[in-house]
Amino acid sequence: MKNCFKTARNCWVASESMEVVYATHPLVHNIFVHGTPDERDLIAIVSPEREPFTKWAQKYLSNSAGGKAAKLQLSFEDVCSNKAVCKAFVAELQHHAFKNNLLPEEHIAAVHCDPTPFEHSSGGLFTSTLKLRRNIATKFYKMILGQLFAEVDNKETPSIPQ
């Protein structure tokens, strides 16, 4: 199988098969699951579905604020960049992974929500048959991937391979 890699947990994971499962979540438009042999956990870049994700995030923020944020209307870009929303989204994706029988090592530990769908990005992330170009996606999101790994590991310096 293509696009398999080994994590620091000494587990082999197949990113494409995980992406197929995560992509069935109604809040996910595009997803890119990433891991390295130096990192213990998996991370992901997700382009959420605009309308459902915004509604879900507004509801989450309202509930977490005790209903005080009910009148607050945030843009799609604002909810995508909200750290609390991203953490709640990770929990939502982990629950989805559990319900779909993914192994614990296949659960995502951190996520970056990109408001721009992959097919509209300037990086040329898809082939002509709409398959994700992993090497190009890794280069395109290199800085964000490093920040996510640092966030998960609680360390200052990210370890993204060149």
Task: Please tell me whether the overall predicted TM-score, pTM, comes out greater than 0.95 for this model.
Answer: no
Cβ neighbourhood burial of 162 (10 Å; 0-12, 13-18, 19+): exposed
Are 33 and 108 contacting, i.e. CB atoms less than 8 angstroms apart?
Answer: yes
Q: What's the chain's average pLDDT?
A: 85
One-letter amino acid identity for 101? N
What is the separation of C-alpha 70 from the centre of its chain, rounded to a whole number of angstroms?
A: 26
Are 149 and 39 contacting, i.e. CB atoms less than 8 angstroms apart?
Answer: yes
The CA-based angle 48-153-33, given to 5 degrees, is: 35
Are 149 and 160 contacting, i.e. CB atoms less than 8 angstroms apart?
Answer: yes
Are 34 and 157 contacting, i.e. CB atoms less than 8 angstroms apart?
Answer: no
Q: What does the pLDDT look like over 61-85, one tens digit per residue?
A: 888 766 555 556 789 999 999 999 9
Q: What does the pLDDT look like over 39-61, one tens digit per residue?
A: 888 999 999 999 999 999 999 98
Give the 3-state secondary structure of residue 60.
helix
